[in-house]
Homo-oligomer: A and B are copies of this chain.
Amino acid sequence: MNNNYLGLDAGGTSTRAVVVSSDGRCTGIGKAGSGNPTSAGVDAATAAIRDAVTQAVTSAKAGPVAGAALAVAGAGDPGHRRAIVSALSGLVATEPVFEFDVLAAYFSGTAAPDGYVLLSGTGASAVRVEDGRLAGISDGLGWLLGDVGSGFWLGREVVRAGLAPLDGRGTSTALTGLLLDRLGIAVDERRQGGRTATLVAATAALYAMPPLRLADFAALVFTAAGGGDQVAAGILDEAAAGLAETLAAVRTPEIEGPLVAAGSVLARQPDFAARVAPGAVVATDGLAGAAVLALRHGGVLVDDATYARVTSSLDQLTRV
Contact = CB atoms under 8 A, between A and B. Distances in A.
11 contacts: A135-B194, A136-B194, A137-B194, A139-B169, A141-B163, A141-B203, A144-B211, A145-B159, A145-B160, A145-B206, A169-B245
B168 A146 contact: no
Contacts of A145: 159-160, 163, 203, 206-207
Q: Which of A136, A156, A164 has the most chain B CB within a 10 Å cutoff?
A: A164
Nearest to A214: B144
A185 B289 CA distance: 36
Nearest to A135: B194
Interface string A111-154: 00000000000000001100000111111011011101000000
Given A144-B211, A145-B206, A206-B145, A138 B249 contact: no
Contacts of A128: 194
A45 interface: no
A144 B249 contact: no
A246 interface: yes
Q: Chain A's interface: helix, strand, loop or mixed, by majority?
A: mixed
A222 interface: no
Contact of A169 (B127, B159, B246): B246
Contacts of A246: 169
A272 interface: no
A278 interface: no
A195 interface: yes
Contact of A137 (B135, B141, B144, B167): B167
A29 interface: no
A193 interface: yes
Interface in A193-217: 193-195, 199, 203, 206-207, 211, 214
Contacts of A136: 194
A250 interface: yes
A168 B134 CA distance: 16
A144 B135 CA distance: 34
Contacts of A211: 144, 211
Contacts of A138: 167-169
Nearest to A246: B169
**Complex A-B, nearest 10 residue pairs according to Cβ-Cβ distance, in ascending order:** A168-B249, A137-B194, A138-B167, A134-B194, A169-B249, A136-B194, A169-B245, A141-B203, A138-B168, A138-B169
B142 A203 contact: yes
A170 interface: yes
Contacts of A194: 127-128, 134-137
Nearest to A144: B211
Contact of A144 (B139, B170, B206): B206
A137 B193 CA distance: 8
Contacts of A160: 145-146
Contacts of A148: 169
A185 to B, nearest CB: 14
Contacts of A135: 194
